[in-house]
Amino acid sequence: MSDQQQNQLWGGRFSESTDAFVQEFTASVAFDRRMYRQDIQGSMAHATMLAEAGVLTDDERDAIHQGLKEIRAEIEAGDFQWSVALEDVHMNIEARLTDKIGITGKKLHTGRSRNDQVATDIRLWLRDEIDLIDGELTRLMTGLLDQAEREAATIMPGFTHLQTAQPVTFGHHLLAWFEMLKRDRERLLDCRKRVNRLPLGAAALAGTTYPIQRERTRELLGFDAVCENSLDAVSDRDFAIEFCALAALCVTHLSRISEELVLWTSAQFNFIDLPDRFCTGSSIMPQKKNPDVPELVRGKTGRVNGHLISLLTLMKSQPLAYNKDNQEDKEPLFDAVDTLAGCLRAFADMIPAIEPNREVMREAARRGFATATDLADYLVRAGVAFRDAHEIVGKAVAYGVEKKKDLSEMSLSELRQFSDQIDDDVFEVLTLEGSVSARNHVGGTAPDQVRAAVARGREVVNA
């Protein structure tokens, strides 16, 4: 390709060819060509609208549509020749279209600019990716609900400060993870509403003198609304920042879950087993089974957080309207999407395969005086002021530490030395099952409440 051909789409103003290094430095085709489907989709809708507006003939529209379909087939077959000299996905496709159908291909760009074209492509692409991510997120949420329902009565220790606090059920703990992801999905779907607005028609920054019909283009492309201001339409990247913000929060939640999975698979906890397919071994220690999937997800959180900061910093000083800086929006956004989607897929596969070690969990809950609060509540119901009950139970725990006895292992006479308000019915509240069952309210850890929460969760996921 000659220099004249390379610059044919925009080079009329220039008296010399672009420096070879500058071509490489400023080109984005290496990464933005992944939006080829959306670029072709947007161009076909634009051509349809131009024909309906009388700017193109029906024959010209049909030639453009056919040419774009053939180009899409070439790309998907691996036969398309991408050129760095043509800078980006848009100019590569337009140049190939002109090669195929002649001067009609040059008419496609009537009434638009690369500024509103790229803004449209990114929104179309991100909308598609959000829908795919939502599929993986709901699959993970469903896996959590299934596990929570199976383990609604499985007792484990609940922690604060990573110290045994009170007994809970494993199902209840899994539903805490579900609640995190439920909020993430709410943010994802809310973000999609702002992504789904059409910039096309803003042209370079001020609109166009051609009789375009933006509402028709909006309808053809399935957008909910058009961007109302042409300056904002071409320069806005809030939607990309918003996505990266929700992605950062979602992977932060996955990282918290990962930390617990890593702890729970350790020999020190041994609460769960992960199937071998989600783990790897050591090159020198044959006994090792490393929880690589949750560890790697935990590690990937940093890169998504970094992409959010990159986009915020990218936009913080930009004057209106479009600036070349915005070429830097794609790589952080693309990688944030890929990373979040990959993490969700890995978790959606892994979570249903978790195998809880129920007896180990129950024994861990039995240690650490997990029912101490239940004893305090028992005393309050017997008429003891809570602060006095707190002190009484604290002394009983100190005695248990000294004697190496849990509260439930003490005799009635041992317990009564701390308060004569304690009777033999106390053992009903000192059992693990009694403790979790007593918290029988919305949001509580009682097995019946866990099952009810699962049912509500299924309604949310299937809505």
For the chain, where do the domains classified as CATH 1.10.40.30 start and end?
368-462
> CA of 56: how far to CAs of 61, 100, 119, 353, in Å?
6, 18, 23, 57
The tally of CA atoms less than 13 A away on the side-chain side of residue 413 is: 0
> In this predicted structure, what is the pLDDT of residue 1?
40
Of the ranges 133-142, 301-310, 414-423, which one carries the lowest mean pLDDT score? 414-423
pLDDT range class, residue 8, cuts 50, 70, 90: low
Q: Which of 72, 37, 42, 54 is nearest to 223 (CA)?
A: 42
- Determine which one of 46, 90, 172, 282 is catalytic: 282
pLDDT range class, residue 5, cuts 50, 70, 90: very low
What is the spatial distance between Cα 25 and Cα 431, in angstroms, rounded to a whole number? 69
Q: Which of 19, 344, 301, 33 is nearest to 181 (CA)?
A: 344
The set of residues, in sequence order, having a beta carbon less than 8 Å from that of 336 and lying 6+ positions away, is 243, 244, 247, 248, 304, 307, 308
> In this predicted structure, what is the pLDDT of residue 17?
73
Q: Per the CATH hierarchy, to which homologous superfamily does domain 115-362 belong? A: Fumarase/aspartase (Central domain) (1.20.200.10)
What is the spatial distance between Cα 366 and Cα 430, in angstroms, rounded to a whole number? 10
> In this predicted structure, what is the pLDDT of residue 25?
87
**Greatest extent of the chain over all pairs of C-alpha atoms, in Å:** 101
pLDDT range class, residue 132, cuts 50, 70, 90: very high
Active site residue 408: no
Tell me if residue 452 falls in helix, strand or coil: helix
For the chain, where do the domains classified as CATH 1.10.275.10 start and end?
3-110
pLDDT range class, residue 34, cuts 50, 70, 90: very high
Q: What is the mean pLDDT of residues 218-247?
A: 98
Q: What is the mean pLDDT of residues 54-62?
A: 98
> In this predicted structure, what is the pLDDT of residue 12?
62
* DSSP H/E element including 167: strand 163-169
- Determine which one of 15, 161, 317, 441 is catalytic: 161
Tokens 């397919």 belong to residue: 277
Tokens for 399, please give them.
């005695």
| Alpha-carbon dihedral angle through residues 372, 375, 379, 381, given to the nearest 10 degrees | 120
Q: Is the pLDDT of residue 6 over 60?
A: no
What is the spatial distance between Cα 49 and Cα 42, in angstroms, rounded to a whole number? 11
pLDDT range class, residue 3, cuts 50, 70, 90: very low
Q: Is the pLDDT of residue 364 over 50?
A: yes
| Model confidence pLDDT, tens digit, residues 181-192 | 999 999 999 999
| Model confidence pLDDT, tens digit, residues 264-316 | 999 999 999 999 898 887 778 877 789 999 999 999 999 999 999 999 999 99
Burial class for 458, CB neighbours closer than 10 Å (0-12, 13-18, 19+): middle
Domain 368-462: give its CATH code: 1.10.40.30
pLDDT range class, residue 14, cuts 50, 70, 90: low
Active site residue 161: yes
> In this predicted structure, what is the pLDDT of residue 91?
96
Share above pLDDT 90 across residues of the chain, in percent, rounded to a whole number: 86
Q: Are 43 and 67 in contact (CB under 8 A)?
A: no
> CA of 336: how far to CAs of 39, 40, 251, 295, 307, in Å?
21, 24, 10, 18, 7
Phi (first) and psi of residue 135, to 5 degrees? -65, -45
Q: What is the mean pLDDT of residues 366-378?
A: 89
Q: Are 50 and 71 in contact (CB under 8 A)?
A: no
Q: What is the mean pLDDT of residues 220-243?
A: 98
Alpha helices in 222-371 (DSSP H): 230-235, 238-265, 292-315, 330-350, 358-366
Q: What is the mean pLDDT of residues 232-252?
A: 98
pTM across the whole model: 0.92
The conformation of residue 319, written as its DSSP 8-state character, comes to P
Of the ranges 109-118, 183-192, 238-247, 432-441, which one carries the lowest mean pLDDT score? 432-441
Q: Are 137 and 177 in contact (CB under 8 A)?
A: no
Q: Is the pLDDT of residue 95 over 60?
A: yes
For the chain, where do the domains classified as CATH 1.20.200.10 start and end?
115-362
Q: Is the pLDDT of residue 152 over 50?
A: yes
Chain center to CA of 396: 47
Architecture of domain 3-110: Orthogonal Bundle (1.10)
Tell me if residue 225 falls in helix, strand or coil: strand
What is the torsional sign of CA 80, 83, 87, 92?
A: negative
Average pLDDT of the chain to the nearest whole number: 94
